[in-house]
Structure formats: C-alpha cells, structure tokens
Amino acid sequence: MEKNNDFMKKYYTEEQLTAIAERGKNFTAADQVKVSAEWDDIYRTAKKLADKGADPAGKEARALAKRAQDMIDAFTGGDKGVESGLNKFYADRRNWSAQMQNFVPKLDDKTQKFYEAMMKMYKEKKGEKE
C-alpha cells in the first residue's frame, strides 16, 4: 500500500497519523489477510442484501453494520476524528493512486448506496452523528 504520508495528510492530522502508525506496529501480514477477508465478507453480504432489496435499517443490515463498525473501530481505535478522516479518504477515491484503488475493493453503486444508508441508520440508532 502507499507509504506516502503526504497523501494521507489530506485526511488525517499528524497526531492521528502517529496514532494509526502506533496501532499498526504489531499488525502482521496474517492480520491483513484476516482483515481483508472480513471486509470482503462484509461487502459480499451488503451486496446480497442490496440485491434482494433488504431494508438498510432491518435486522440483517443492523448486524452487518455492527460488524463493519467493529472493523472501523479496530482501525480508528474508536477515535471519531480518525473515523472522520477515514470517511474523507473513501469519499476521495477518484484521487487515489492505481495501487491504492486496486488494494481497496470498489462497490457497485447499488451496494454502495445500501452500505452508506445501512451505516447511517446504524449510527443514528446508536445516537451518533456522522
């Protein structure tokens, strides 16, 4: 993955980048395989739910949103500022390098809209703001 801190400074403060790096010190290649597999499953499940017209606020979607939020929290350390930077990062996908775009799966429009609605509703239910 890109190691260009200047690129990531568009999304995170120096303090946030330091915290992310600190959490990542013991992150292994095996950990990356597990994380990638979990995200792949989350995205696959979101696609299935979107394709069958599931309610983004329904029981299955809430369970999936919790899994996704747990993954996000593991990366961000529960820091909402880091999560905000992560959201900005994903919103800026068109400016990523080809290497970065190949590393992070892109969802089809229907699945992306479902995923975003699902996460928004999950956070609203928890009383969080985006």
Q: For residues 47 and 111, give the distance between their C-alpha atoms in angstroms, rounded to a whole number.
A: 5
- Distances 35 to 42, 62, 72 between C-alpha atoms, Å: 11, 20, 11
Q: How far is CA 123 from the centre of its chain?
A: 14
What is the secondary structure of 50-110 as a DSSP string? HHTT--TTSHHHHHHHHHHHHHHHHHHTT-HHHHHHHHHHHHTGGGS-HHHHHHSPPPPHH
CB 114 within 8 A of CB 44: no
Residue among 97, 76, 67, 129 at smallest CA distance from 3: 97
**What is the pLDDT at residue 4?**
61
pTM: 0.87
* Ordered per-residue pLDDT tens for the chain, 130 residues: 445 668 899 999 999 999 999 999 999 999 999 999 999 999 999 999 999 999 999 999 999 999 999 999 999 999 999 999 999 999 998 888 888 888 888 889 999 999 999 999 999 988 866 5
Q: What is the pLDDT of residue 123?
A: 93
Nearest residue to 25 via CA among 89, 78, 77, 69: 77
CA distance 30 to 26: 11
